Structure 1
Amino acid sequence: MKWHASTQGERHDRTGTHRSPILGSGEGGKYLAWHLAKSGLRTAVVERQWIGGSCPNTNCLPTKNEIWSAKVADLARRADTFGVTVGPVAVDMARVRQRKRDMVDGLIKMHLQNYEASGAELIMGSGRFVAPKTLEVQLNDGGTRLLAANQIFLNVGTSPAIPGISGLAATHPLTHIEALELDYVPSHLIVLGGGYVGLELAQAYRRFGSRVTIVEHGPQLAGKEDADISEAIRQILSEDGIEICVSAETLHADGQSGQQVTLRVRTKSGEQTIEGSDILVAAGRRPNTADIGLDTAGVELDDRGYIKVNEYLETSATDIWAIGECAGSPQFTHVSLDDFRVIRDRLAGGDRTTHERLVPYCMFTDPPLARVGLSETEAQRLGIPVRVAKMPTSAVLRTRTIDERQGVMKALIAANDDRILGFAMLGAEAGEVMAAVQTAMLAGMPYTRLRDAILAHPTMAEGLGALFSKVPNHGAT
């Protein structure tokens, strides 16, 4: 017997024994639900708010939607560079927001169709363990429902973290969720955090017309990247007119975001005050593992609140798995999808694990940053000798045709053989170029195969030939 998606307004108070209830409808969870249901297993997904998880609603796709609107605004302002005459450029944030909302509505409709087609039931409500294999769901439309199960999957995700800075919470700062719902352009947006989310939205709002200041606690932007890559990012953002403050300790916040806010920060040069209109907090995320009865289920957490799992994503409780960010997996939608594949194959008796995954990264600033494999800093920390090849993106002739010359390309090759150990690119179409290198790495190809390949001209990927031609000889680093 299959359960079908419940209709809005319908109340449930029955107890159902499900083969596979899933708490949370994020990327890995929803694909697992659809797979199990199509396999004939009674499957239900409990989702508190976002159908399909954060990616289609508040994170990946909505941010990239508005970032693209910001790029169009930037291109329009530079239209004369391309021989195109336009009138004055203005940004209508209400229309930018509506374009994003229309996309999200379409994605939700697609998800509901997938639930219906698969036979998996979607239950809108908040779930928590009340017994080791029993979830109690407080339904959004009223009432409760108990789901008993043979096996349970946790896909509860993470939420934006608000640092414990004096006065910050009282200012009611924006997170990326609220920032994507703004119908106005802030006059001066202060961004706390220089990671992926902070940098993407800082640049977008600068292009929408805001004055923007980034305040980063660490010594550089994009703290996980090599110093040369970070410096290239900083230069690009500075040229966009973004003010950047690194190695900055925020001491106190005052005011009301959306009206007037003041930050007092301490830097190497002393204390200073930054005044703005809005604060956007982009300072990391926290797992949504509190108050859902995990102790009742025997599910252990680590010291940061993430669910402890083994290489098969099995928790400390028998027949309970965790998927995606709540399990401490890298915080990317594509990793959550692979978590689904690990669990799917494990349930079928396979031996796929999370060990030694080659995880690609992409930050959608303009130009974007893409990276896969080791960075030079990581190689040094691990004591892995490498040969480094590097060149400016402007050396790729494609950049002359599109007038997007900013950035750098960088490759790490093993010192004693020709394996590609890492690749990073800050430049136009970086994510697509990275995919070609990642494919070569997965295939175990030596870098010389890319160096000597016939690559189409004029493309950005053509630059790989020139980049890999710069690899030092064996024994050189």
Structure 2
Amino acid sequence: MSNPEEYDVVVLGSGASGKLIAWTLASKGKRAAVVERRYVGGSCPNIACLPSKNVIQSAKVASYFRRGAEFGIDAGGWKVDMGVVRDRKRAMVDGLIAMHLEKYKASGAELVMGQGRFVAPKTIEVDLADGGTRTLRGAIVVINTGTRARIDRTPGLAEARPLTHVEALELDVAPDHLLVLGGGYVGLELAQAFRRFGSRVTIVERNGALAHREDPDVSDGLRQLCEDEGIEVCTRAKITRVEGTSGASVKMHATRDGSEIVVEGTHLLAASGRTPNTDGVGLEHAGVEVDGRGFVKVDERLRTTAAGVWAAGDCAGSPQFTHIAEDDFRVVLSDLAGGSRTTTGRQVPYCLFTDPELARIGLSETEAKAKGIAYRLAKIPMTAVLRTWTLSEPRGFLKALVEPDGDRILGFTAFGAEAGELMAVVQVAMIAGLPYTALRDAILTHPTIAEGLGPLFAAVPAGA
């Protein structure tokens, strides 16, 4: 091992947590380096959150053209150009990368492009992208390597070379028939988008419902959304083997309710889960342990089993959202400063960017029942929110859980137009400890989606 270069902090992986730690400490005069294998800024600005929402927005515009007559617009002769859809996404990514590079420059943090691996405690050797090697040792080290799409060991699946979200967002032609393996968040978002681009789409899900961890009324609503859009859904399907090659012809053999079925398409998208990027980075040389699924073992302050080493973001088993990774940054920064912030009991906002959106915060009904927590339930259809009438988007509902003998909001779910923005209003009220009556009695602008919070919380049953 060559003589290591000494740093105050070395971060392996440039995702949300890692880059924020490096930028913050470097701006305070610390010598900080971030080692990144490929994607400047991590997956969110390059291949995941923002690129997918960019493509989803293009698909939403396409849906408006398809519905043109409904809005009094003659949209005859239009077509989707997937090459332009892809190029619009690429242009956004280029801009985001440029923004990241400017932040590295402004903060003084060093970005080291190459494949990094631990070769000793708190010591990382980097095979540089432009050739050669460097060895960096940090007084503090943060592991921020993220996750990747999981390809299950189903016979023939890997050989079929399925798309993941990465390749799907680079397509310049809409598939004739896209098979989506997995009915979770990624599968649902991309299934709807490609259906709106003109593909025939079939979702194949092994569980009994789409987004099966959500409340039954949410899963039912998502299935109805798929039916509305002409997306075929096959639940309770256990894939036994896969034949063919994605992009040409592919067959998925499965068992369903005791019978064998075959689902055929031209392209296959694997969207059935994530696996941590912790293999091949030498964690065993650093004294860093992983759990049975490969996620780095951490405590409530995101400390690993090795002194002076933290892990943050998806690879640490945190909920797989950029906004949670950003909070992981706050937890690590607090710990470095002797603070008390931890991951215990923090709010985790969920948002599914289908159209309409699904968003929730706090307890769901399923979670409340599993934990034996009593609640009062208020629920209204989105048609009770008059703004939806102007948008021609009546689908969905709002619901809230309120404690049975008090006024505290326990949870909130919105399945409808602008659900993600609406959830934030309730989340802030929950953070502030406001009673549900504060939203019930607030003067909210008409006509807005947020106005629906009034009738929703007016529907809370009387307490015990």
Alignment of 1:384-423 (within 5 A): 384-423=373-412
| Cα distance in structure 2, aligned partners of 1:401 and 1:30 | 42
Q: Which residue of 1 aligns with 2:261?
A: 272
Match of 1:227 among 203, 207, 216: 216
Secondary structure of the corresponding residue to residue 394 of structure 1: helix
Q: Which residue of 1 aligns with 2:463?
A: 474
Amino acid at match of 1:288: N
Match of 2:149 among 145, 151, 160: 160
| Cα distance in structure 1, aligned partners of 2:113 and 2:413 | 41
Runs of 4+ in 1 over 2 A off after TM superposition: none
1:218 aligns with 2:174: no
Match of 2:271 among 268, 282, 298: 282
Match of 1:185 among 171, 174, 177: 174
Secondary structure of the corresponding residue to residue 138 of structure 1: strand
Write the deviation string for residues 148-194 of structure 1: whole angstroms up to 9, x where unpaired. Answer: 22110100000100011111111100000000010101000000000
TM-score (norm 2): 0.99
Q: Which residue of 1 aligns with 2:126?
A: 137
Amino acid at match of 2:127: Q
Q: Which residue of 1 aligns with 2:92?
A: 103
Write the deviation string for residues 383-406 of structure 1: whole angstroms up to 9, x where unpaired. Answer: 000111111111110001111111
| Cα distance in structure 2, aligned partners of 1:418 and 1:27 | 36
Q: Which residue of 2 aligns with 1:37?
A: 26
| Cα distance in structure 1, aligned partners of 2:253 and 2:282 | 39
Amino acid at match of 1:324: G
Query: Any conservation in 1 of the 2:4–2:123 contact (CA below 8 Å)?
Result: no
| Cα distance in structure 1, aligned partners of 2:264 and 2:273 | 23
| Cα distance in structure 2, aligned partners of 1:96 and 1:112 | 25
Amino acid at match of 2:40: I
Q: Which residue of 1 aligns with 2:371?
A: 382
Write the deviation string for residues 374-421 of structure 1: whole angstroms up to 9, x where unpaired. Answer: 110100000000111111111110001111111111111111211111
Q: CA deviation at 1:14?
A: 7.1
| Cα distance in structure 1, aligned partners of 2:226 and 2:407 | 35
Amino acid at match of 1:203: Q
Q: Which residue of 1 aligns with 2:231?
A: 242
Could you tell me the percent identity over the aligned residues?
58
Write the deviation string for residues 331-376 of structure 1: whole angstroms up to 9, x where unpaired. Answer: 0000000111111122112111111111101100000100101110
Q: CA deviation at 1:15?
A: 3.5
Amino acid at match of 1:310: D
Query: Any conservation in 2 of the 1:174–1:281 contact (CA below 8 Å)?
Result: yes
Alignment of 1:298-317 (within 5 A): 298-317=287-306
Write the deviation string for residues 229-276 of structure 1: whole angstroms up to 9, x where unpaired. Answer: 110111011110000011110111101100011111111162111110
Write the deviation string for residues 30-67 of structure 1: whole angstroms up to 9, x where unpaired. Answer: 01110010010000000000000000000000000000
Match of 1:440 among 424, 429, 446: 429
1:366 aligns with 2:355: yes
1:334 aligns with 2:323: yes
Query: Any conservation in 2 of the 1:15–1:145 contact (CA below 8 Å)?
Result: yes
| Cα distance in structure 1, aligned partners of 2:94 and 2:358 | 29
Question: Once structures 1 and 2 are overlaid, which stretch shifts more, 200-209 or 217-226?
Answer: 217-226
Query: Any conservation in 2 of the 1:71–1:207 contact (CA below 8 Å)?
Result: yes
Q: CA deviation at 1:291?
A: 1.6
Amino acid at match of 2:321: F
TM-score (norm 1): 0.96
1:463 aligns with 2:452: yes
Amino acid at match of 1:115: Y
Secondary structure of the corresponding residue to residue 366 of structure 1: coil
| Cα distance in structure 2, aligned partners of 1:304 and 1:171 | 24
Query: Any conservation in 2 of the 1:391–1:467 contact (CA below 8 Å)?
Result: yes
Question: Once structures 1 and 2 are overlaid, which stretch shifts more, 267-276 or 213-222?
Answer: 267-276
| Cα distance in structure 2, aligned partners of 1:169 and 1:156 | 23
Secondary structure of the corresponding residue to residue 462 of structure 1: helix
Q: CA deviation at 1:85?
A: 1.7
Q: Which residue of 1 aligns with 2:192?
A: 203
Alignment of 1:40-59 (within 5 A): 40-59=29-48
Q: Which residue of 2 aligns with 1:3?
A: none
Amino acid at match of 2:135: L
Secondary structure of the corresponding residue to residue 450 of structure 2: coil
| Cα distance in structure 2, aligned partners of 1:334 and 1:350 | 20
Q: Which residue of 1 aligns with 2:443?
A: 454
Amino acid at match of 2:413: A
Amino acid at match of 1:69: S
| Cα distance in structure 2, aligned partners of 1:422 and 1:265 | 37
Query: Any conservation in 1 of the 2:422–2:449 contact (CA below 8 Å)?
Result: yes
| Cα distance in structure 2, aligned partners of 1:386 and 1:410 | 12
Amino acid at match of 1:346: D
Write the deviation string for residues 443-469 of structure 1: whole angstroms up to 9, x where unpaired. Answer: 111111111111110000101111111
Query: Any conservation in 2 of the 1:372–1:438 contact (CA below 8 Å)?
Result: yes
Query: Any conservation in 2 of the 1:14–1:145 contact (CA below 8 Å)?
Result: no
Amino acid at match of 1:379: A
RMSD across aligned positions (CA): 0.9
Unpaired runs of at least 5, structure 2: none
| Cα distance in structure 2, aligned partners of 1:71 and 1:350 | 44
1:24 aligns with 2:24: no
| Cα distance in structure 1, aligned partners of 2:284 and 2:4 | 22
Secondary structure of the corresponding residue to residue 135 of structure 1: strand
Q: Which residue of 2 aligns with 1:357?
A: 346
Q: Which residue of 2 aligns with 1:6?
A: none
